[in-house]
Each structure stands twice: as C-alpha cells, then as structure tokens.
A and B are shown apart, each in its own frame.
Chain A
Amino acid sequence: MGFLSPPPVRKLPLAGEDTARVVEPNGNGASSFVSSGRRAVASTSLAVDRMQVEELSIAYGSKLAVDSVSLPIRQGEVLALIGPSGCGKTTLLRSLNRLTELTKTASLKGRITLDGDDTATFEPTSLRRRVTMVFQQPNPFPMSVFDNVAFVLREQASRRPRKRELKGAVEDALRRAGLWDEVKHDLAHPALRLSGGQQQRLCIARALAANPEVLLLDEPCSALDPQSTQVIEDLIVQLREEVAVVIVTHNLQQAYRIADYVAFMYLGELVEYGPAEQVFGAPKQERTREYVSGAFG
C-alpha cells in the first residue's frame, strides 16, 4: 500500500519568533500520523447496513450545503466524515436524525432510510430516539447524573417510570459509556459538576440509553483534553459493535485512529468514500490527497 510521504508540519510562531516555520518531516515518519498509531483494526465482517443516504441534497435558503450525497451507514463500523469547515459534513450528520428541520431555511431532497424505512415517514421524536446525537460542547442537562440518563428513558416531560424501575437501564447506559465506575457513588450529584470529559461521556451514555441503532457524534472531542479524548476514542471503537457510529471530525489523526470508513466532503460534495487505510494511504482523488496531506482546509 503506497503511503504518502509525511506531510510538512506547520509550526506556529513561538514567543520571540516572527514567523511561522514549516518543519520538513524527517524520513522516519515520526511527525506523520499515517503509518503509525493506528489501532488494531478488527474485522468488519459483522457490518450490517443500518442507514442508507440516497442522493441527498440539503440547501439553506438558496445555498446548497450538501450536494447529492449517497453513502451507507453500517453497524460494526465507525464512519468518519471529514472535510474543511463549511463542507457540509455537520449538515449531513444533522440530517440523519432530522435535526436540520429545526433550521427554518433548510430544505432537503433525496432519501434517507433507517433499516429500510424512509426517515421522512417517522415521527421526529421516535426517529431521534433511534438515531441519537452527541454534540461538540458537552451539554448535560441541568439535573443529576442519574436523571440525565433517566430523562431519555422517561415519557417526554413526565417523571414516570419511577427511579427504582430505571436503575438497571441507567446503570447499563453508564457502563456502556465507561462512566459507571467513576460516578456510581455520585448519581445524585448535578451532572454539570463533572469534568468536561466525564460530561461528554455522560452525553454519550444519554445517547445510548434508548438503545439507538445509530449514534451520531459531532466533533465530540474538540472541547476536551487529550486524555479525555483518548478515553472517548477507545469508547467509540468499542461501541461500533452494538451501534452504527458516524463521527464528524476536524482532526484527521482522530479520523485515522478510529474510523473504519472515511467520507471526505468538499463544498457539499462527497469527494471520496472508502476504507480509512485507503482514503488516508492511497486517496483516489487529487482533492482528498491534498486535504489529508494538509495542503488546504
């Protein structure tokens, strides 16, 4: 497999230095993420089609944000959407559980199916219980750790089912998000007291609580420190067995570390879609090659 030569690394000026320097990579590839640090890729033979995006176009007013994109979303794989800012990747992600509908000017063409059913025919609330989302900023609800998860399991605004009946399900969701051991004694504490990384894992637990088919992650680590990022990345890789995972990320290294499939978008178009090794290692399109080697974006 023909790996690229490592991309040049642009260094920001340090105090006292006038200009940014471009550090040429040395030959052993230490400054490049391609060819190193990739997790052991498990077989993706388990992969099951969950969602299918067909000829999807989304416009805000007259501005086209996503231009006839088609791709499959499979359980057993992590799909990473990458591309420069404004390329439509977040819009695409938000359209999967119809959050785009909250933007008044947004209009949508094409079809998205979930297990064969057109998502447009779903009640938005029931679709969003099956396709849940985690956001860039950790945003636990202003209630206890327990209630954050229980809120999702309860009927809309009611307090039923009661706490006792939900204990098992809440514990299960917190365990799946790898948070249980850290919070099991503080379930009654306000969720906003947790650290940023814990808050984000609580958001993931919340998103998993309803046992969704698809988990959408919109740059879930961009507000977190490297350690929390690591924890969440490991978590995402584990989760792909039980839920289809789609992640939007600006961080190419992250996409390389955790994704099985990568979709590169540029100006609303899906430029390239393929296995992570191929997109990063041997991109077929010139624009992909330029982007993953840091030429633009």
Chain B
Amino acid sequence: MSVATPPAPKERRSARDSSASWRWTDRLGLAFAWVLGVMFLLITVGIVIYLMVQGIRFVKPEYFVTSPSAGFSESETGGFLDPLVGTIVVASLAMAIAFPVGLGVGVWLSEYGRPTWLARITESTVEMLAGTPSIVFALFGVLLFQHPALGLFSQSTDGVVYGRSFFAAAAMLALIALPLVVANVREGLQAIPGHVREASYAVGKTKIATTRRVLLPAARPSVVTGAMLGVGRVIGDTAVIILLLGATLKIVPAEGPVGELRGTGSTLTSFVFQNAPTGEANQPEKAFAAAFVLLAMVLILNFAMDVVVRRGRRLTWGS
C-alpha cells in the first residue's frame, strides 16, 4: 500500500492578508458599511447618554413617592408616582392579554396550522397588526370602548360611557404587543429540528404532550424574548395612552368594583408628553426625569432579555 506523506502545508494566509487581493470597489463598500455602522452606534449611544445625563440631574428620590399635582413651578408639581404605577399596571394588564393569546396563536401557527387557508389568513393578519400605527388602534379603541355594551370597562355617567380606562388602554396595547409575541414564539418553535418532535412521538407521546413538555421548554428563550419585546413596546407607547387612558396625570378611580382599573390615569410616556416643553404642563425637568426612568426601565428589560436568551441558546441540538 502506498503510504501518502502529506506535503508540507503551504504558507497560510490569514483572512486579513487575503483582503490584499480585494478590488477597490469591495474596499469602498466595506469602508462605507463600517462607517455607517459606527455612525449608527455613535448616534444611539449619544442619545442614550445624553438622556441619561440630562435625566439623572433632575431625578429626585421623592418623585418616586409623590403624586403629580397642579402648580406653576417645578417645585410645586410633585413627582411621578401615579405615572410610574400607571405604566406598570397598564403593561401588566396588556401582557396578561397579549401573552397567552400570542403564545396560543404562535403554537397553533407553528405546530398545527390547519386548515392551511386559515393559518395563512391569521399570519397576514398578525403581520398587519404589526404594521399598524398605534394611533389607529387608539382611535379604534376610543370608538369601541364608548359603546354602551362595553360600558363596564370604564366610567359611565347618566348612561354616557366615558370609554377611557386602564382596561381600554391595555386592551389596545395588547394588540400592539401581540405580533411580537406571536412572531417570536413561532420562530422559536420552528427553529427546533423536526427530529426532536419525532423523537417524542417515537416514544409514544401525543402532539400536545410533545408541545407542552418538549417544544415550549426548548423555545423558552424565544418566548421570553417575545414577551419582553412586547413589554418594551407597551411601556413605550404614547398614542394609545393619551387617547385611551384619559389624560389625567393622577389615577382617578371610577365608581364601582375594580374602580382603579376602570378609571383613568397616566403613564410615564404620557407624563413626559404633558411635561415636555411643548406640552400643556411644560415642566421640562420633570419630563427629563421621567424620561430617564422610562429609558432605564427599557434598558434593564433589554439587558435581562439578553441574559435569558444567551443562557438558553447555549444548550441546543444539531439540526
């Protein structure tokens, strides 16, 4: 048998060296992409740092525990306790609707999808929701919740339904978060190789048991990503809040059971809107402070999401 002696390896060129043979158009393209990338980074970081620096100067601990009040100067107008609570309440309510529905729709689209025509319609509907401006949802919500049949979700006086409440705002915000949840759940499930499903069927498990015990746990990073992106969108939305939460800076409970949720209030976004130099209240220091808190919330959310996703992606199958 002829024994092959491997020839001395040729001198290897690293990837960097090999770019020496690039054409000048390629180099220009690379330079262009690089400059744009760095520019984008600088602009984003610039905005975040500017707002952080601006905001942190004005944030005072007592703002977190005092309600807003009427006044002419920054020292008289109180803090943003109500908007902070409002943000948390409205986000929780919206996700309480969007998450289960989105999870269900995502699982159905990825794992069942029968009949096909219905799945296709659902898919494009969800995509349409994702592309709809939130002010449109807000306007729709105003009309919807003013209907007497939905009067129990808000305050009504003498048969006239006010139509603005935490419930109303959360319902419309749920529509904004829904496509993000659906898309991520679906993507996560579809990234699971087919043989993993079959392995579960091949030991006698039903489709439902497989989905619950194998697929959803495997898709957890994507599910969490969807939920957190949804929360991010919800706490950042302003249009729906302004039209549907009643534009009262303080939380004003309605009469009757669960009055707080049927009443009106504000969130950090609408608080910033009101207090911005162009807003009605014009208390820029308050606006910056609230914007800082809002930004911090979103950044923490993103960071948490990153941690969860990173941890989850480490353990997975070959395809």
Contacts and interface: CB of A to CB of B under 8 A. Distances in A.
Contacts of B319: 137
A102 B210 CA distance: 14
A141 B198 CA distance: 11
Given A17-B4, A23-B1, A31-B1, A139 B204 contact: no
Nearest to B210: A157
Contact of B203 (A14, A128, A136): A128
A102 B111 CA distance: 12
Given A11-B4, A16-B7, A99 B198 contact: yes
Nearest to A127: B204
Contacts of B199: 133, 135, 139, 141, 203, 206
Interface in B1-17: 1-2, 4, 6-7, 9-10
Contacts of B209: 156-157
Nearest to B194: A102
A190 B315 CA distance: 8
Contacts of B208: 156-157
B202 A128 contact: yes
A290 to B, nearest CB: 23
A226 interface: no
A282 interface: no
A163 interface: no
A207 interface: yes
Interface string B205-238: 1101100111001101000000000000000000
Interface residues of A, number: 43
Given A102-B201, A125-B204, A135-B195, A141 B7 contact: no
Contacts of A257: none
Contacts of B205: 125, 151-152, 156
A125 B202 CA distance: 8
Given A23-B2, A157-B209, A157-B213, A102 B198 contact: yes
Dominant secondary structure of chain B at its interface with chain A: loop
B200 interface: yes
A48 interface: no
B72 interface: no
Interface residues of B, number: 32
Contacts of B200: 141
Nearest to B197: A102
Contacts of A25: 1
Contacts of B213: 141, 143, 151, 157
Nearest to A125: B204
A139 B201 contact: no
Contact of B316 (A21, A192, A206): A192
A124 B318 CA distance: 27
A136 B204 contact: no
A66 interface: no
A137 B193 contact: yes
Contacts of A74: none
Q: Which of A17, A128, A142 has the most CB of B within 10 A?
A: A142
Interface string A180-207: 0000000000101100000000010011
Contacts of B42: none
Contacts of B193: 137, 139
A209 B201 CA distance: 14
B317 interface: yes
Nearest to A216: B202
Contacts of B317: 137-139, 192
Contacts of A132: 202-204
B213 to A, nearest CB: 5
A126 B204 contact: yes
B315 A210 contact: no
Interface in A108-141: 124-129, 132-133, 135-139, 141
Contact of B201 (A31, A126, A128): A128
Nearest to A190: B315
Nearest to B216: A142
Interface in B295-319: 315-319
A280 B110 CA distance: 46
A97 B7 contact: no
Given A23-B2, A142-B315, A152 B201 contact: no
B196 interface: yes
A15 interface: yes
A15 B179 CA distance: 52
A26 interface: yes
A230 to B, nearest CB: 21
B310 to A, nearest CB: 15
A47 interface: no
Given A23-B2, A192-B315, A15 B9 contact: yes
For B205, B212, B316, B319, the residue with the greatest tally of chain A CB atoms inside 10 Å of its CB is B205
Contacts of A206: 199, 203
Nearest to A97: B202
A192 B200 CA distance: 15
Contacts of B214: 141-142, 151
Interface of A: 11, 14-17, 21, 23, 25-26, 31, 97, 99, 102, 124-129, 132-133, 135-139, 141-143, 151-152, 156-157, 190, 192-193, 203, 206-207, 209-210, 216, 223
**Which 3 pairs, one residue from A and one from B, show the smallest C-beta to C-beta distance?**
A129-B204, A16-B7, A133-B202
12 contacts: A15-B10, A99-B198, A126-B204, A128-B201, A132-B202, A132-B203, A133-B199, A139-B199, A141-B217, A151-B205, A157-B206, A210-B203
Given A157-B208, A190-B315, 9 more contacts: A125-B206, A128-B204, A129-B203, A135-B198, A137-B317, A137-B319, A192-B315, A207-B203, A216-B202
